Amino acid sequence: MQPLDVDEPVAVGPYRLLGRLGAGGMGRVYLGRSAGGRTVAVKIVHPHFALDEEFRARFRREVAAARRVGGAWTAPVLDADPEAPVPWVATAYAAGPSLAAAVTDTGPLPAHTVRALGAGLAEALTAVHELDLVHRDVKPSNVLLTLDGPLLIDFGIARATDGTASLTSTGVSVGSPGYMAPEQILAQGITGAADVFSLGAVLAYAATGEPPFRGDSSAALLYKVVHEEPELGTLDGELRELVPACLAKDPAARPAPAEVSHRLAPQGAPRLITGGWLPGPLVEQVSRSAVHLLNLDTGETAHSGPVAFDSPSTPSPASGADIPFVPPVAPEQSPSAPATDLNGPPAEAPAAVPEPHDAPRPGRLSVSVSAASAPVAGGRGRRLSCSVALAVAGALAVSALGLGGLLGSWSGQGSSDDNAASSPSRSQAPAPSAGFTGNPQAPDAIPSRYLGTWEGRATALDGNLPIGTFRLTVHPAAVGKDLGHLTQTDQLGGVCTDILTLKKATETRLVATSTGATGNHGGCDPAPHTVELTPTHGDLTYTSDSSAEGNPMAVLSRRTQR
């Protein structure tokens, strides 16, 4: 993102502009934020298009149509003003690089990522075509890679410029050379098959790092698209058959988007996305972009000032002290006891906990606990700041929860050092649950439906916080023996491994004790906790009682059968 130039607007409609995301033949795209704090991408057309009444009429129709597109793999239109002196449209902002930027920075994408990419985009085109609409400009720069899957953007804007006088007078073509279908170049009538051609070119680019049609000029590219066969390089596997079919010169010979999606993901694109679909370098890039977005300064004046304290403030980690996070313990009161006055001086009243003098404001997130510090004595082991930082990097939804509420839920009730004596320590192995069954001598106490390798994306805090990918391996074991291990890969690529010991196994539920493996890094939770695995429609639902980690849960899909 680039800072705004002095001649660029600072606000469009109800949105304050924070920076420029990019520019093209049709206009410029800005990062904006609403008064309520929602982040959006605001597209403003070039002023000379605003003088064309035919353009305005088409823009109006196409924006209205784009609002109807609600597929999971498209960025929804949130707001627009076709009647403004310079027309604009606002869509949901997605934290992630374009496919063009990702391939330029990191090279061709892995095969699994390309399959998920193709399946998601094909499902998006299916939704678009069902509305009798055509995107017309599917290309790498119009595909965003987010942690939750690919997004097809700029829908509606490309069609809004088709056939206007402005296009002829300015020499702007509708579509992108090298990704346009032959019939689109020859103006022979455009159907949804043109989008399928563009999708094939996009998949070839994602898998090989090179477009299937190459040339030194737009004229050379257009000629090759119409008359020559694509260059597919190292493309192999399912894509070696599917991509050429999409790139057929005859529109009738190309598969429909639904067929493309089914061939790449027979059980649907979400199944491929759920297990974690982006390679590590891109996950890190997306995460850092999300943190940067949270810290963007809107330029608004904060109405705040210094707050006096009756007692010295707690040292900050920035000063060199490593301060563990210990939530305050609310005083116990009987129903008849008067409420404690935090401002009053009674000697028997508990000491008031001072409010922080620099509380986080909406749109800005600050975590001051050291991520590199050692585990708190008698505490959980996994430091809150490390977990929260990784989770924030993977999900902007954290800012909506509020930092205080997030940390309170993350640490759990009654889990501070102050009341450790009144509750069982997590450093001790949990006692067997009620109803414990199973023969400790049985050589194979686990039903075969659990055996194998499973994988899926995990969340914490009742599904509000993405925490990475879980990969679980289960092998035959007796009660009390090692049944396998769970590997968590967090949003920045860090890995924690837990060893699972069988407690109970039935056809409908498997209970185990999960303990951090020797050799884990300091950000992993070493304390034992209980996990349950429940078969659900061919998958395994994983739940954990680890309040230190926000009670993680995941739906795991089978990867291999044992």
Exposed, middle or buried by CB within 10 Å (0-12, 13-18, 19+), for 229? Answer: exposed
Match 């159907």 to its residue by tokens. 191
Q: How far apart are CA 81 and CA 44, in angstroms?
A: 10
420 SS3 class: helix
Evaluate whether 427 touches 534 at the Cβ level (below 8 Å): no
Q: Which of 137, 148, 490, 498 is catalytic?
A: 137
Say how many residues make up the chain. Answer: 562
Token pair of 111, please? 């095969």
| Interior/surface letters 275-287, b for 16+ CB within 10 angstroms, e for the rest | bbbbbeebbebbb
Q: Is 187 exposed, middle or buried (0-12, 13-18, 19+ CB in 10 A)?
A: exposed
Contact 381, 375 (CB under 8 A): yes
Return phi, psi of residue 497, to 5°.
-120, 135
Task: Consult the annotation and say whether 43 binds a ligand.
Answer: yes
SS3 content of the chain, % helix, strand, coil (to 5): 30, 20, 50
Q: What residues does 500 pair with on adjacent strands?
A: 484, 514
Name the amino acid, one letter, at 302: A
Alpha carbon separation from 372 to 348, 403, 426, 518 (Å, rounded): 38, 20, 21, 18
Q: Is 137 a known active-site residue?
A: yes
Partners of 487 in the beta sheet?
471, 497
Query: Which of the 8 DSSP states describes residue 98?
Result: B
Cα 208 from chain centre: 25
List, as one string, the DSSP characters of 444-494.
--S-GGG-EEEEEEEEETTTTEEEEEEEEEE----TTSEEEEEEEE-TTS-
SS3 219: helix
Strand, helix or coil for residue 15 = strand
Question: By C-alpha distance, which of 81, 225, 59 is closest to 139?
Answer: 225
* Element at 284 (helix H, strand E): helix 280-294
Q: Which residues are catalytic?
A: 137
Q: Residues at the annotated binding site for ATP?
A: 43
Q: Which residues are annotated as a binding site?
A: 43
